[in-house]
């Protein structure tokens, strides 16, 4: 099994290299091939997503991705910005289904900004559509405006088939969980959302065992901090999913804990932590590698057909937390503050 390894920028490099060490302890034949992406791609080949990197991603069985972005590229034209690498990979590889689980580990309930009783035992899954919406809709641009100045414009767009296929992913996922799907939209204002709601409701007819509800995105943002445990699976579009998944991540205490999977129609996938490249802490050895290690577990489960190895890896992460190991972002008094490398080592030892 061939894995394209794309560490990217900032802490991406250190969390990915530590994750590879952990994967090496699983005793599974995995072949790794690394390529530059994001700012690193721009430095190497003048493009955030160099042709060779894209070709490697296409030929691999799965992609392990770190993070991209650095403020030093903020002045580049948008096509050259590091973020284009991840957007390009999603689009080019048809990775339309983004799974972002938010789980609170018992050991970390105290690290959440919310009261422990609000988040203890939380286990929700955000299913975010990833290749449509205002992210990719045309036309878009900046043009002269009649008033004399300029105007910026983007287009929010969803086709019925795009909505249908992401709805199915959410209903299928709910079948393996608590059989509840909440579809999030802004149907009181947006045409896109009206169609979204209608199509999701139609699709629900094929899943009579799943309880479907609908919620406006602003209310959902509020409900996530008021009573997050009311949710099981949340399905939503690209833009709302981007925002709600960052919000959900903080329920768990640290954005450094959350993995994600971005899947195509055939279970090929790109696996990445949901956090960014954190240039302010890059190279200091303090970044939390667990989101990337947990992303690798999702990769074993969803793309590599190794569910038992995925379970072992997740159990090892829980073991390290149970034994008190904490990187700075999840540290609380009475636990043991460790570096990126020592956290990964703690996981590896427990395999
Ligand atoms: C994410 C990120 C990306 C997104 C950025 C880096 C383009 O925020 O994966 O959530 O907006 O999708
Ligand atoms: Mg985001």
CATH for 1-96+265-351 (2.40.240.20, 1.10.3720.10, 3.40.718.10, 2.60.40.1180) = 3.40.718.10
Please tell me which residue in 42, 73, 135, 325 is annotated as part of the active site. Answer: 135
The per-residue pLDDT for 294 is 97
pLDDT in tens, 131-154: 999 999 999 999 999 999 999 999
User: What would the CATH number be for the domain defined by 97-263?
Assistant: 3.40.718.10
Instruction: Flag the least confident range among 194-203, 232-241, 249-258, 259-268.
Output: 249-258
pLDDT in tens, 99-132: 999 999 888 877 788 998 999 999 999 999 999 9
- pLDDT > 80? residue 75: yes
Task: Kindly indicate the confidence band of residue 193, based on its pLDDT and cuts at 50, 70 and 90.
Answer: very high
The per-residue pLDDT for 78 is 87
Distance CA 70, CA 18 (A): 21
pTM of structure: 0.94
The chain-wide mean pLDDT, for the chain, equals 95
Residue span(s) of the chain under CATH 3.40.718.10 come to: 1-96+265-351, 97-263
**Gyration radius (Cα) of the chain, Å:** 20
Place of tokens 């990719």: 136
The per-residue pLDDT for 107 is 84
61 lines ligand 1 (CB under 6 A): no
Strands 180-185 and 233-236: parallel
Distances (CA, A) of 93 to 76, 102, 131, 337: 25, 25, 10, 39
The per-residue pLDDT for 256 is 86
Number of other residues whose CB lies within 10 A of the CB of residue 2: 12
Helix, coil or strand: residue 313 = helix
The per-residue pLDDT for 253 is 77
β partners of residue 102: 124
Q: What does the pLDDT average to over 2-7? A: 97
Task: Kindly indicate the confidence band of residue 283, based on its pLDDT and cuts at 50, 70 and 90.
Answer: very high
The per-residue pLDDT for 255 is 82
Distance CA 257, CA 291 (A): 4
The per-residue pLDDT for 137 is 96
- pLDDT > 80? residue 254: no
86 lines ligand 1 (CB under 6 A): yes
- pLDDT > 90? residue 188: yes
Using DSSP, how many helices (H) and how many strands (E) does the chain show?
Answer: 12, 14
Please tell me which residue in 242, 268, 325, 329 is annotated as part of the active site. Answer: 242
pLDDT in tens, 6-55: 999 999 999 999 999 999 999 999 999 999 999 999 999 999 999 999 99
154 lines ligand 1 (CB under 6 A): no
Q: What percent of the chain shows pLDDT beyond 90?
A: 89
DSSP 111-155: GSSS-HHHHTT-EEEEEEE-SSGGGT-SS-EEEE-TTSSEEEE--
The per-residue pLDDT for 182 is 98
Distance CA 182, CA 176 (A): 15
Task: Kindly indicate the confidence band of residue 318, based on its pLDDT and cuts at 50, 70 and 90.
Answer: very high
Distance CA 265, CA 278 (A): 31
Two tokens, residue 327:
């990187």
Would you call 135 a catalytic residue per the annotation? Answer: yes
Going by alpha carbons, the residue nearest to atom 4 of ligand 1 is 242
């Amino acid at each position: 099994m061939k894995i394209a390894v794309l560490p990217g920028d900032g802490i991406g490099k250190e969390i990915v290299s530590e994750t590879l060490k952990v994967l090496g302890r699983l005793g599974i034949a995995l072949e790794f091939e690394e390529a530059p992406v994001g700012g690193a791609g721009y430095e190497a080949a003048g493009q955030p997503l160099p042709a060779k990197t894209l070709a490697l991603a296409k030929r691999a069985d799965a992609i392990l991705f770190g993070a991209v972005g650095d403020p030093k590229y903020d002045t580049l034209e948008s096509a050259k910005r590091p973020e284009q690498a991840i957007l390009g990979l999603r689009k080019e590889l048809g990775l339309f289904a983004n799974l972002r689980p938010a789980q609170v580990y018992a050991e970390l309930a105290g690290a959440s900004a919310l009261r422990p009783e609000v988040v203890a035992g939380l286990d929700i899954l955000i299913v975010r559509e990833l290749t449509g919406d205002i992210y990719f809709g045309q036309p878009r641009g900046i043009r002269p405006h009649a008033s004399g100045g300029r105007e910026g414009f983007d287009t929010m767009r969803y086709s019925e088939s795009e909505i249908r296929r992401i709805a199915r992913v959410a209903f299928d996922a709910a079948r393996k969980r608590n059989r509840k799907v909440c579809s999030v939209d802004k149907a009181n204002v947006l045409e896109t959302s009206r169609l979204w709601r209608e199509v999701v409701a139609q699709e629900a007819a094929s899943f009579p065992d799943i309880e479907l509800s609908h919620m406006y995105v602003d209310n959902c943002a509020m409900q996530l901090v008021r009573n997050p445990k009311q949710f099981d699976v949340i399905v939503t579009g690209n833009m709302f999913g981007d925002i709600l998944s960052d919000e959900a991540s903080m329920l768990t205490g640290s954005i450094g804990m959350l993995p994600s999977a971005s899947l195509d129609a055939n279970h090929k996938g790109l696996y990445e932590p949901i956090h960014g490249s954190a240039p302010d802490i890059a190279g200091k050895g303090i970044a939390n590698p667990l989101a990337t290690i947990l992303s690798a577990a999702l990769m074993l489960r969803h793309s590599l057909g190794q569910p038992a190895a995925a379970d072992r890896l997740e159990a090892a992460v829980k073991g390290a937390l149970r034994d008190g190991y904490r990187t700075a972002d999840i540290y609380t008094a009475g636990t043991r503050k460790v570096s990126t490398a020592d956290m990964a080592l703690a996981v590896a030892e427990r395999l």
